[in-house]
Amino acid sequence: MKRLSHRIYTPAAEPRILSGTGVLQRATPSPVHLVFMHGLMGTHRNFASVCAAMSGAQDEKSRMADLKMEEVRRVTVPSDCDEAAGCCAHPGTAGAPRVYQCVAFDWRNHGDSEHNPNMTLDGLAEDVTDFLADYGTAVLAAPSPVPLILVAHSMGALGLMHWMWTEHLRQWRDRVLANGLGPLRPSQSAAATSQRSLFATPAYRVLGAVLIDTAPAERPASFYDTTRLIRSLSSVPLGTLHSRTAVEGWMQQHGPRDLCTPDKIWLLRYQLSNLTFPKGAAPTWRIGLEEIINGLDRISWSSGSVARDAIVREVERLAVSRGLPTPAPPPLDEFPVSCVFGATSPYDTAATRAAVRRIFKAPSILEMEDAGHFLFMWQKRTFVSTLRDVCYALEKAGGMLRGMA
């Protein structure tokens, strides 16, 4: 917790949330905590209004004034979504509204967190491990493991998926080797066995994950446009520019012209939000810009394959040495996974959905209409409604609602 900056949103004593009809109504605090992870060049502040809404920390009329009172847009649930898995969200399924303690943290080199040259998927996985351990022990100090739902967007979702899949492979390897490379019985599945795991510790247990507009696959062309813009930021002569407007103007003149046009200026401003302007001094980057730029080629799904593949190859080598068939790792089934895509996002394709299904067992795949990659920013009200239903479904699948009416 010391090296990763964060903010905790605790539910109010008498929490209220804004219903779909614009009426404030009482909400029930859930024992589940939500952990939010932002994307590339972002900060935990990106999720501030979402966390305020999900926690009921303040009434949503004041904390989400930008969520106009238009009717909540329809959330499309594809016909291939596995409702039987118990993690498929539909508007209205949540019944009594729930609020959650929320925490959002800054990845390494982002926000106010420490700068670290290891800007890789392995490095991000270290952040997940360290933050969850610290949050579960130092902050919560609860007598029993705290149930967590992990919510991550874009690069954050890639880092989370890498952490999840690598840990899943490690557990699979240990079970296979303990079984002498023989076929695993259903009772030996990850979900059915209890062993040392980063998914369940004395401090916390992962109840589910919500992956926002990202898949374990190659990224679209728009991502590489973004990285081109980020690389160009290193050329900004900060010593001669003393306002955000001046920096923006310089970038429009000297940066990638095709990415600094009026219709794309929001993306440049998003990057420039990482600048600080000390009084009487030249602006500086709050983030570890150099570390991020050096790591841009090391935070793709394929770049993390070295660590993941090493685990699989260990099993393969042993199988070959014994003349046995090589077992294949099964999809992750330790907890349910829900994916929320923006319908107009370039990340939402048949290929990305297929990639999700390859590594997760029976994932829930949802689509938000009229939403792009930054769906939780541009369609906040719809996103909050969707997330609330998804979390309720994950609570139900995890047995957290037993005894409730």
What local confidence, expressed as pLDDT, does residue 321 receive? Answer: 87
Say whether both 143 and 247 belong to one domain.
no
- Tally of domains in the chain: 2
CB distance 329 to 169 below 8 Å: yes
* 215, part of any domain: yes
* 110, part of any domain: yes
* 92, part of any domain: no
Say whether both 208 and 357 belong to one domain.
yes
* 185, part of any domain: no
* 134, part of any domain: yes
DSSP one-letter string for 340-377: EEETT-TT-SHHHHHHHHHHBSS-EEEEETT--TTHHH
Say whether both 202 and 253 belong to one domain.
no
Q: What is the pTM of this model?
A: 0.88
Say whether both 274 and 211 belong to one domain.
no
| Whether pLDDT at 347 is above 70 | yes
Q: Where are the alpha helices (DSSP H) in 264-345?
A: 265-272, 289-295, 305-321
Say whether both 334 and 245 belong to one domain.
no
Say whether both 132 and 263 belong to one domain.
no
Say whether both 215 and 226 belong to one domain.
no
Say whether both 135 and 169 belong to one domain.
yes
Say whether both 150 and 206 belong to one domain.
yes
Range of the domain at 49: 6-67+97-180+198-219+305-403
**pLDDT tens figures, 303-343:** 888 888 899 999 998 888 888 888 889 999 999 999 999 99
Which pair of tokens denotes residue 85? 């898995």
**pLDDT tens figures, 238-283:** 999 989 999 999 999 999 999 999 999 999 999 999 999 998 888 9
**pLDDT tens figures, 139-187:** 666 678 899 999 999 999 999 999 999 999 999 998 888 877 666 555 5
| Whether pLDDT at 290 is above 50 | yes
Of 244, 272, 294, which residue is a domain's last? Answer: 294
| Domain CATH for 61 | 3.40.50.1820
Of 229, 263, 294, which residue is a domain's last? Answer: 294
* 53, part of any domain: yes
Of 240, 274, 294, which residue is a domain's last? Answer: 294
* 141, part of any domain: yes
Closest CA to 388 of 120, 7, 92, 144: 92
Say whether both 203 and 232 belong to one domain.
no
Say whether both 340 and 391 belong to one domain.
yes
Type of residue at 166? T
* 214, part of any domain: yes
Say whether both 211 and 231 belong to one domain.
no
CB distance 89 to 105 below 8 Å: no
